Structures are given as structure tokens and as C-alpha cells.
């Protein structure tokens, strides 16, 4: 993908919005971030630049997943990462 190429985030599905008065989340924007990440591969590129010194037999989560989680935390406004399990 070259610079200046438009990234399309719209789907061809109808959208229906109805306010229910319930608590709302501001994290829905992360769905667009995930879609952009799937297309651009920024987290995978960053993970490829990091040497993984962990013992392979003890690895539970691939480095790409850890980098992606941290990236989404930063974009979502969870800078300190102390609430990542919630």
C-alpha cells in the first residue's frame, strides 16, 4: 500500500442505531483500529523488529499478540496497562 492510497473501512451492510439510555463504551473505535491493523500490519512489523529471548517451550502468547495488545491499550487510552484484564 503506498502513501496516499485510501483505506476503506466501510462495509456494505445497513446500519441501524437506536439510543437505549444504557451505559455506553468509548472503546468501539478500537474496532476500526483493528481493521486498519489487519490491513497495514503495523504491530506485526514492530514485533518483527524485537528479538524474542523467551524460552519457546514457555511461550503462551506470540510476540505479535503482545505487541498488538499493548498498541490497542495505548490507542484506547489505557496508557498504564494496569487494567488490561478488565
Residue 59 lies in a domain: yes
pTM value > 0.75: no
Residue 84 lies in a domain: no
Residue 68 lies in a domain: yes
**pLDDT tens per residue across span 20-59:** 767 666 777 888 888 999 999 999 999 999 999 999 999 9
- The neighbour count for residue 68, using CB atoms within 10 Å, is 19
Residue 60 lies in a domain: yes
Residues of the domain holding 49 = 28-75
- Indicate the range of 2-6, 58-62, 67-71 predicted with least confidence: 2-6
Residue 67 lies in a domain: yes
Residue 57 lies in a domain: yes
Distant-in-sequence, close-in-space partners of 33: CB < 8 Å, separation ≥ 6:
72, 75, 76
Residue 58 lies in a domain: yes
Residue 16 lies in a domain: no
Amino acid at each position: 500500500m503506498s502513501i496516499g492510497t485510501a483505506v476503506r473501512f466501510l462495509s456494505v451492510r445497513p446500519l441501524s442505531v437506536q439510543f437505549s439510555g444504557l451505559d455506553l463504551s468509548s472503546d468501539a473505535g478500537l474496532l476500526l483500529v483493528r481493521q486498519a491493523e489487519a490491513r497495514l500490519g503495523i504491530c506485526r512489523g514492530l514485533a518483527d523488529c524485537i528479538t524474542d529471548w523467551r524460552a519457546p517451550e514457555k511461550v503462551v502468547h506470540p510476540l505479535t499478540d503482545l505487541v498488538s495488545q499493548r498498541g490497542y491499550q495505548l490507542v484506547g487510552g489505557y496508557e498504564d496497562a494496569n487494567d488490561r484484564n478488565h
